[in-house]
């Protein structure tokens, strides 16, 4: 009993003592920097973003440069990751693929965050019947397995990058709605929100200026982990042939096309698989690190 | 103070917290003593180092960031700082107990209050389950709760009742020293009066010595035999309760008295201490109080004042009362 | 002094809870003269904070009337309330929770000016923010700092500056100093007294600390379980408390002095639950003078002498009145 209390108390002490001049985000960054695995995650993400931006300069070959004389080559000096069944350089395709993965990841999370976040904020702030209506709709969405939901959306809307992003986005709306609603519920009874009402602030401004900025921490964490999930879902959709179609160098699609050669030429599946794995790994490390850095009370 | 039957003696204790912001000197060169059956008040504002002192005595300072740099804590003739963790566990809750400020968080919500009292008894005494249960029910009755409620969970009790349970846990093994960290701050006035009344009664009954940590000079007047006033990790005045209330000497103590609205007389304005508590990572040189002190002299910003015994048993850390040379 | 700025009549606020109807404020009547401070004391859960919030319509009342300058403000529609907010403000208890941690000092103080569109010109607004900071004793260099960088006393000054921004006539002080250390508490109390003088403010000062309430108030109301049980000038409450609860409350305060020796009245038991309270006197269970009548008939707040109100059936018979 006493030991546990001591932990709480000294934490408070430390918090009191560390009231130095420093904005809160700088404080978060300082804590994040101390977390080695989060830094590894961040490094992976930075490399990924750089390779997406600088793809034309990094990739030694074009996306669709077929070299039919050199198909299915194992890794060598000319082709670091070998070539595929059309003689395309796998390394180049993975570099170009990072653009698509990042697009899918960030845009679909963006869709989910904006739609789910607004729904959650409205449900939490106004409560009552509106809350019930919105959250029951979210429950229905949650009751359908997300990959199944994405499959049906893609099936309805058709293939293509845009539709994959919409599908993955819609299927992760409920989780953002829930998170935002929960933090709005705790924040709306805080005294500073009451203070804002007391000076005559209207509801829209209260939500946008006083509630949302204070509920960013769990949203940021969820978004980071969500990007990983979205990339994975998109790859999964492409793998089963419902997502982005070849010859677009999407990692899941590449994985799928290498499947028939997996016995003889495992490098065709290994490298796209590794790319997916490392990216997800990096995002998850960063997400966990952010969670600890944004809420130091969780970790001790 | 006299040599007879010292229960606790703190000598030159220094406790620091080492954080990325810098070193917080939470307790500096503290020396206090406590005789059997005595109650010592530890008074100060937020960040004065009261709780750190208590956790230091209990050896519950979290390391890192906390660290006991030097000093001795002699309890019953033995230095607690030289004890192993196993030895300390036998002392905590058994010979030295602590009551925390918030009764809401210091009880385990999933155990009945009877189980929580019995747990301490089983830990420190060689008894079987039924004896422990019997003893825990007796303890509940001692603190004024019918034993029929020993199977109730903490949430079924009010704040004042919970604090009674905490007191029962603390006193279950008949400790010689009880450290109470603001035990009534979270309670309402009428409930506070009940709990203080109970603590006074039990202290006499069990002949327990007590360290009472508080910011309320009213409580000091009611329960303490002697008082240490703390400011920014330093004991600035240390004397018996009578001297403190009739003849306070340190400018900070006087400032504290002037800051409290007087319930008996009318005053148009309070006379607060000017300024703010110093940044604990960056205490001013010399006397930590000098930037806020109405009687500060040039020496106060250069040197730290030493403890001066101005009358018998009345110690003040202030240059006003050191030898006359410094005054000029 | 005699002009009533606020008059509260039969005010009730019940909350629906899972266990039943919580009588937070139950038939409360009082008035506040222009320029005075009415102290509202009571223990936690007695409904004092709810009363303050109902007055500002931060919480909607169940029934009753609240007159502000002769107008029943409980009947105003939402745009009229927004106008009313300029006249009535609140300072909160917790200087940590009452300031948005994402906004800087200047943004917090400017918020009321922005949402009420007081200034067209940004420079004028900044000037007003600076002058407000001066008024409450905040150094200009703190203008771009964030609340978490400041100590409790300074945060409370920010809260006061925000409340003053719209030049209100009436401020509800909801335990404004109870989270502060005594030396800082005294600074804030002095500041509030100065502001009251300077801007001719009327305060409702809510607190559980009787010595603080006595220091600031001209009259004091004591609340117990949603009802006012005694109301009179600040002196009489302390020299000559009439209600048994007031007497016990006064005797329970630890006084920082060795000279004053008092007989303590230790009340038995806890404050009963405000959910579905029974008829009769709410204090019945803990009262040492109780009689059978108290169990069946609720005592009303009656004016015993001019400006001295008490709610007890036996205040005459028990020799509680000298």
Is the per-residue pLDDT at C33 higher than 90? yes
Is the per-residue pLDDT at C108 higher than 90? yes
What is the per-residue DSSP string for B162-207? Answer: HHHHHHHHHHTT--SEEEEESTTTTS-HHHHHHHHHHHHHHHHHHT
Using CB atoms, pick whichever of A2, A7, A10 lies closest to residue B98.
Answer: A2
What's the pLDDT score for residue B326? 42
In degrees, rounded to 5, the angle at the alpha carbon of residue A204 between the alpha carbons of residues A202 and A210 is 85
What is the H or E stretch that residue B259 is in? helix B251-259
- What value of ipTM does the predicted structure carry? 0.84
Is the per-residue pLDDT at B191 higher than 80? yes
Average pLDDT of the segment spanning B77-104: 86
Q: Which pair of structure tokens corresponds to residue B101?
A: 């400020």
Q: Between β-strands B39-43 and B226-231, what pairing exists: parallel, antiparallel or unpaired? A: parallel
Is the per-residue pLDDT at C17 higher than 90? no
Instruction: Give B306 to chain A, closest Cα distance, Å.
Output: 26
Whether C115 contacts chain A with CB within 8 A: yes
Give the residues across from A1 on adjacent strands: none
The CATH code of the domain that includes A220 is 1.10.3720.10
Using CB atoms, pick whichever of B197, B222, B267 lies closest to residue C266.
Answer: B197
Task: Grade residue A283 by pLDDT with cuts at 50, 70 and 90.
Answer: very high
The answer, yes or no, to whether the previous bond of B64 is cis (omega within 30 of 0) is yes
Q: Which pair of structure tokens corresponds to residue C254?
A: 């630890």
**Which residue does chain B place closest to A9, by CA atoms?**
B51
Least confident of A18-22, B25-29, C315-319: A18-22
Task: Grade residue C11 by pLDDT with cuts at 50, 70 and 90.
Answer: very high
Q: How many residues would you count in chain A?
A: 300
Q: Which of residues 150-209 of C touch A (CB under 8 A)?
A: 150-151, 159, 162, 165-166
Task: Grade residue B229 by pLDDT with cuts at 50, 70 and 90.
Answer: very high
Average pLDDT of the segment spanning C236-258: 87
What's the pLDDT score for residue B266? 73
Separation between Cα atoms, residue A21 and residue C211, nearest integer Å: 36
Is there a contact between A7 and B62 if contact means CB atoms under 8 Å apart? yes
Mean pLDDT, chain C, as a whole number? 89
Separation between Cα atoms, residue C22 and residue C24, nearest integer Å: 6
What is the per-residue DSSP string for C67-113? Answer: EETTEEGGG--HHHHHHHTTTEEEE-S-TTTTS-TTS-HHHHHHHHH
The answer, yes or no, to whether the previous bond of B65 is cis (omega within 30 of 0) is yes
C neighbour chains, 3+ CB pairs within 8 Å: A, B
Q: Could you tell me if residue A8 is inside a domain?
A: no
Separation between Cα atoms, residue C271 and residue A16, nearest integer Å: 34
Q: Could you tell me if residue A181 is inside a domain?
A: yes
What's the pLDDT score for residue B45? 87
Q: Could you tell me if residue B33 is inside a domain?
A: yes
Whether C142 contacts chain B with CB within 8 A: no
Instruction: Give C43 to chain A, closest Cα distance, Å.
Output: 20
Separation between Cα atoms, residue B288 and residue B229, nearest integer Å: 13
Average pLDDT of the segment spanning C295-305: 87
Using CB atoms, pick whichever of C208, C235, C260 lies closest to residue B189.
Answer: C208
Average pLDDT of the segment spanning B26-44: 91
Mean pLDDT, chain A, as a whole number? 83
Question: C85 burial class (0-12, 13-18, 19+ CB within 10 angstroms)?
Answer: buried
Task: Grade residue A13 by pLDDT with cuts at 50, 70 and 90.
Answer: very low
Average pLDDT of the segment spanning C298-320: 82
Mean pLDDT, chain B, as a whole number? 86
Is there a contact between B281 and A9 if contact means CB atoms under 8 Å apart? no
* Number of neighbouring beta carbons within 10 Å of residue A118: 16
Is there a contact between A10 and B55 if contact means CB atoms under 8 Å apart? yes
Largest CA distance in chain A: 76
Q: Which of residues 151-210 of B touch A (CB under 8 A)?
A: 169
Range of the domain at B20: 6-83+212-327
Is there a contact between C254 and B259 if contact means CB atoms under 8 Å apart? no
Is the per-residue pLDDT at A40 higher than 90? yes
Q: Which pair of structure tokens corresponds to residue C284?
A: 């019945």
Average pLDDT of the segment spanning C36-59: 91
Number of domains forming the structure of chain B: 1
The CATH code of the domain that includes B302 is 3.40.50.300
Is the per-residue pLDDT at A21 higher than 50? no
Q: Which residue has the tokens 């503290």?
A: B30
Whether C139 contacts chain A with CB within 8 A: no
What's the pLDDT score for residue C31? 94
User: What sign does the CA torsion over A274, A277, A283, A289 have?
Assistant: negative
What are the chain C neighbours of A20 within 8 Å (beta carbons)?
A: 149
CB A173 within 8 A of CB A230: no
Mutate to test the interface with C, among B162, B187, B193 (most CBs of C within 10 A): B193
Chain A contacts to B (CB-CB under 8 A): 1-3, 5-10, 13-14, 16-18, 20, 30
**Which residue does chain A place closest to C99, by CA atoms?**
A192
With a CB cutoff of 8 Å and minimum separation 6, the contacts of B60 are A2, A3, A6, B92
Is the per-residue pLDDT at A1 higher than 80? no
Average pLDDT of the segment spanning A77-91: 84
> pTM of the full predicted structure?
0.83
Is there a contact between A30 and B47 if contact means CB atoms under 8 Å apart? no
Is there a contact between A22 and C111 if contact means CB atoms under 8 Å apart? no
Whether B91 contacts chain A with CB within 8 A: no
Average pLDDT of the segment spanning C40-59: 91
> Which of A214-228, B86-100, B230-244 tops mean pLDDT?
B230-244
Number of domains forming the structure of chain A: 1
What are the chain B neighbours of A6 within 8 Å (beta carbons)?
A: 55, 60, 62
Q: Could you tell me if residue A87 is inside a domain?
A: yes
Q: Which residue has the tokens 């008829």?
A: C279
What's the pLDDT score for residue C97? 87
Q: Could you tell me if residue B28 is inside a domain?
A: yes
CB B228 within 8 A of CB B43: yes
Q: Residue C64 region, left (φ>0) first, then alpha (ψ -120 to 50), else beta?
A: left
Is there a contact between C58 and A23 if contact means CB atoms under 8 Å apart? no
**Which residue does chain A place closest to C92, by CA atoms?**
A191
Instruction: Give A35 to chain B, closest Cα distance, Å.
Output: 15
Least confident of B12-16, B120-124, C312-316: C312-316
Q: What percent of chain C has pLDDT over 90?
A: 50
**Which residue does chain B place closest to A8, by CA atoms?**
B105
Is the per-residue pLDDT at C177 higher than 70? yes
DSSP letter at B291 equals G
Separation between Cα atoms, residue B97 and residue B282, nearest integer Å: 33
Q: Cα C230 to the chain's mean position, in Å?
A: 15
Separation between Cα atoms, residue B321 and residue B249, nearest integer Å: 9
Separation between Cα atoms, residue B36 and residue C62, nearest integer Å: 58
Question: A295 burial class (0-12, 13-18, 19+ CB within 10 angstroms)?
Answer: middle
Is the per-residue pLDDT at A246 higher than 80? no
Q: Which of residues 155-194 of C touch B (CB under 8 A)?
A: 181-187, 189-190, 193
B neighbour chains, 3+ CB pairs within 8 Å: A, C
What's the pLDDT score for residue B276? 83
Higher pLDDT, residue B154 or A247: B154
Q: Which of residues 65-84 of C touch A (CB under 8 A)?
A: 82
Is there a contact between B107 and A6 if contact means CB atoms under 8 Å apart? no
Q: Which residue has the tokens 């994959």?
A: A164
Q: Could you tell me if residue A253 is inside a domain?
A: yes
Separation between Cα atoms, residue B290 and residue B250, nearest integer Å: 11
Q: Could you tell me if residue A76 is inside a domain?
A: no
Alpha carbon distances (Å) from A223 to A33, A139, A218: 20, 20, 8
Is the per-residue pLDDT at B211 higher than 70? yes
Mutate to test the interface with B, among A3, A4, A5 (most CBs of B within 10 A): A5
CB B233 within 8 A of CB B26: yes
What are the chain A neighbours of C79 within 8 Å (beta carbons)?
A: none
Phi, psi of A183 (to 5 degrees): -75, -30
Q: What percent of chain B has pLDDT over 70?
A: 97
What are the chain B neighbours of A33 within 8 Å (beta carbons)?
A: none
Separation between Cα atoms, residue A92 and residue C309, nearest integer Å: 88
What is the per-residue DSSP string for B260-312? Answer: SPPSSS--SS--PPPS-PPPTTSPPSSSTTGGG-TT--GGGGTSPPPEEEEET
DSSP letter at C284 equals G
Whether C58 contacts chain A with CB within 8 A: yes
What's the pLDDT score for residue A225? 87
The three-state secondary structure class of C166 is coil
Range of the domain at A102: 27-63+82-294
**Which residue does chain A place closest to B109, by CA atoms?**
A1
Boundaries of CATH 3.40.50.300 in chain C? 4-87+168-310
Q: Could you tell me if residue B115 is inside a domain?
A: no
Q: Could you tell me if residue A68 is inside a domain?
A: no
Task: Grade residue C287 by pLDDT with cuts at 50, 70 and 90.
Answer: confident
Q: CB pairs under 8 A, 24+ apart, for C313-317?
A: C313/C281, C314/C289, C315/C242, C315/C243
Class of domain C4-87+168-310: alpha beta
With a CB cutoff of 8 Å and minimum separation 6, the contacts of B73 are B8, B9, B10, B11, B13, B56, B57, B79, B80, B81
Is the per-residue pLDDT at C43 higher than 50? yes
What is the H or E stretch that residue C205 is in? strand C202-207
CB C244 within 8 A of CB C287: yes
Q: Which pair of structure tokens corresponds to residue A95?
A: 């570099």
Q: Which of residues 225-244 of B touch C (CB under 8 A)?
A: 241-242
- Exposure string for A29-65, b = 16+ CB within 10 A, e = fewer: eebbeebeebeebbebbeebeebbeebeeebebebee
* Number of neighbouring beta carbons within 10 Å of residue B277: 21
What's the pLDDT score for residue A264? 87
What's the pLDDT score for residue C286? 87
Is the per-residue pLDDT at C302 higher than 90? no
> Which of A127-141, B119-133, B139-153 tops mean pLDDT?
A127-141
Q: Which pair of structure tokens corresponds to residue B106?
A: 């210091």
Is the per-residue pLDDT at B192 higher than 80? yes
Q: Which pair of structure tokens corresponds to residue C265?
A: 């009245």
Average pLDDT of the segment spanning B147-152: 88
What's the pLDDT score for residue C320? 53
The three-state secondary structure class of A84 is coil
Give me the total of CB pairs closer than 8 Å, taking one residue from chain A and one from chain B.
Answer: 48
Using CB atoms, pick whichever of A5, A10, A20 lies closest to residue B106.
Answer: A5
Instruction: Identify which of B255, B261, B322, B256 has the alpha carbon closest to the alpha carbon of residue B286.
Output: B322
A neighbour chains, 3+ CB pairs within 8 Å: B, C
The pLDDT tens digits of the residues spanning A95-121 come to: 998 998 888 899 999 999 999 999 999
Task: Return the half-sphere exposure (C-beta side, CA atoms, 13 A cut-off) of residue A167.
Answer: 31
Q: Which residue has the tokens 């600035």?
A: B236
- Exposure string for A184-217, b = 16+ CB within 10 A, e = fewer: bbebbebbbbbbbbbbbbeeeebbebbbbebbeb
The pLDDT tens digits of the residues spanning A48-77 come to: 999 999 988 888 888 777 877 877 788 888
Q: Which pair of structure tokens corresponds to residue C290?
A: 């109780």
Separation between Cα atoms, residue A216 and residue A183, nearest integer Å: 9
Give the residues across from B70 on adjacent strands: B14
What are the chain A neighbours of C99 within 8 Å (beta carbons)?
A: 192, 195
In degrees, rounded to 5, the angle at the alpha carbon of residue C232 between the alpha carbons of residues C228 and C233 is 145
């Amino acid at each position: 009993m006493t030991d546990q209390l001591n932990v709480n108390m000294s934490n408070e002490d430390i918090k009191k003592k560390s009231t130095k001049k420093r904005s809160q985000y700088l404080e978060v960054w300082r804590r994040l920097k101390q977390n080695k695995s989060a830094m590894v995650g961040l490094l992976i993400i930075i490399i990924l973003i750089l390779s997406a931006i600088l793809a034309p300069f990094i990739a030694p070959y074009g996306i669709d440069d077929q070299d039919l004389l050199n198909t299915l080559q194992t890794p060598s000096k000319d082709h670091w990751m070998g070539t595929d069944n059309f003689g395309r350089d796998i390394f180049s395709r993975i570099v170009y693929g990072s653009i698509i993965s990042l697009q899918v990841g960030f845009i679909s999370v963006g869709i989910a965050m904006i739609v789910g976040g607004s729904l959650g904020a409205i449900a939490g702030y106004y409560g009552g019947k509106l809350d019930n209506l919105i959250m029951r709709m979210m429950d229905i969405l949650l009751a359908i397995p997300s990959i199944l939901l994405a499959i049906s959306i893609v099936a309805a809307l058709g293939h293509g990058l845009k539709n994959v992003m919409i599908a993955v986005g819609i299927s992760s709306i409920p989780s953002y709605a829930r998170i935002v609603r929960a933090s709005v519920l705790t924040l709306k009874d805080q005294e500073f929100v009451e203070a804002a009402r007391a000076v005559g602030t209207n509801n829209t401004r209260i939500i946008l200026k006083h509630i949302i900025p204070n509920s960013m921490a769990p949203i940021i964490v969820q978004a980071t982990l969500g990007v990983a999930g979205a990339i994975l879902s998109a790859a999964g959709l492409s793998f089963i042939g419902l997502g982005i179609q070849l010859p677009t160098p999407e990692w899941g699609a590449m994985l799928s096309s290498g499947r028939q050669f997996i016995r003889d030429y495992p490098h065709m599946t290994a490298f796209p698989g590794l790319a997916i794995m490392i990216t997800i790994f990096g995002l998850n490390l960063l997400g966990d690190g952010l969670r600890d850095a944004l809420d130091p009370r969780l970790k001790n | 103070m006299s040599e007879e039957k010292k229960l606790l003696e703190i000598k030159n204790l220094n406790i620091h917290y080492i954080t990325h912001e810098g070193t917080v000197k939470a307790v500096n060169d503290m020396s206090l003593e406590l005789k059997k059956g005595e109650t010592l008040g530890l008074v100060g504002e937020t960040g004065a180092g009261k709780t750190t002192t208590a956790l230091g005595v209990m050896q519950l300072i979290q390391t890192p960031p906390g660290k006991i740099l030097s000093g001795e804590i002699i309890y019953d003739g033995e230095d607690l700082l030289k004890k192993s963790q196993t030895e300390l566990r036998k002392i905590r809750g058994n010979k030295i107990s602590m009551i925390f400020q918030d009764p809401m968080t210091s009880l385990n919500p999933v155990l009945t209050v009877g189980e929580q009292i019995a747990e301490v008894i089983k830990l420190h005494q060689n008894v079987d389950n039924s004896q422990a249960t019997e003893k825990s029910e007796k303890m509940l009755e001692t603190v004024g709760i019918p034993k029929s409620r020993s199977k109730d969970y903490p949430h079924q009790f009010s704040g004042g009742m919970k604090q009674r349970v905490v007191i029962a846990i603390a006193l279950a093994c008949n400790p010689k020293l009880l450290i109470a960290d603001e035990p009534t701050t979270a309670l309402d006035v009428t409930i506070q009066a009940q709990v203080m009344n109970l603590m006074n009664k039990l202290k006499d009954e069990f002949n327990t010595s007590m360290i009472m940590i508080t910011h309320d000079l009213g409580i000091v007047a009611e329960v303490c035999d002697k008082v240490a006033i703390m400011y920014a990790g330093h004991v600035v005045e240390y004397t018996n309760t009578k001297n403190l209330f009739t003849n306070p000497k340190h400018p900070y103590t006087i400032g504290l008295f002037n800051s409290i609205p007087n319930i008996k007389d009318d005053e148009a304005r309070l006379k607060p201490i000017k300024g703010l508590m110093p940044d604990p990572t960056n205490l001013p040189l010399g006397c930590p109080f000098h930037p806020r002190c109405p009687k500060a002299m040039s020496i106060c910003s250069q040197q730290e004042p030493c403890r001066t015994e101005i009358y018998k048993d009345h110690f003040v850390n202030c240059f006003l009362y050191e030898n006359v040379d410094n005054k000029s | 002094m005699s002009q009533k700025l606020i008059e509260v009549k039969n005010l009730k606020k019940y909350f629906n809870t899972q266990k039943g109807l919580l009588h937070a404020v139950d038939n409360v009547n009082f008035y506040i003269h222009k320029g005075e401070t009415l102290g509202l004391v009571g223990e936690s859960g007695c409904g004092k904070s709810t009363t303050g919030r109902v007055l500002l319509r931060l919480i909607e009342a169940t029934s009753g009337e609240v007159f502000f300058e002769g107008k029943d403000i409980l009947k105003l529609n939402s745009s009229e309330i927004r106008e009313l907010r300029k006249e009535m403000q609140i300072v909160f208890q917790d200087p940590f929770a009452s300031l948005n941690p994402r906004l800087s000092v200047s943004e917090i103080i400017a918020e009321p000016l922005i949402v009420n569109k007081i200034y067209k010109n940004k420079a004028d607004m900044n000037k007003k923010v600076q002058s407000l900071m001066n008024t409450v004793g905040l150094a200009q260099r703190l203008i771009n700092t964030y609340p978490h960088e400041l100590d409790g006393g300074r945060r409370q000054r920010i809260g006061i500056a925000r409340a003053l921004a719209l030049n209100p006539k009436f401020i509800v002080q909801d335990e404004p100093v109870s989270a502060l250390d005594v030396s800082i508490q005294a600074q804030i109390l002095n500041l509030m007294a100065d502001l009251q003088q300077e801007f001719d403010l009327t305060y409702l000062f809510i607190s559980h600390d009787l010595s603080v309430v006595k220091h600031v108030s001209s009259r004091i109301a004591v609340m117990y379980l949603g009802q006012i049980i005694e109301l009179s000038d600040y002196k009489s409450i302390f020299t000559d408390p009439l209600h048994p609860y007031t007497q016990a409350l006064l005797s329970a305060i630890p006084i920082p002095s060795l000279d004053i020796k008092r007989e303590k009245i230790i009340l038995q038991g806890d404050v009963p639950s405000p959910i579905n309270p029974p008829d009769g006197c709410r204090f019945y269970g803990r009262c040492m003078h109780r009689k059978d009548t108290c169990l069946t008939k609720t005592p009303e707040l009656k004016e015993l002498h001019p400006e001295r109100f008490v709610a007890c059936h036996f205040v005459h018979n028990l020799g509680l009145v000298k």
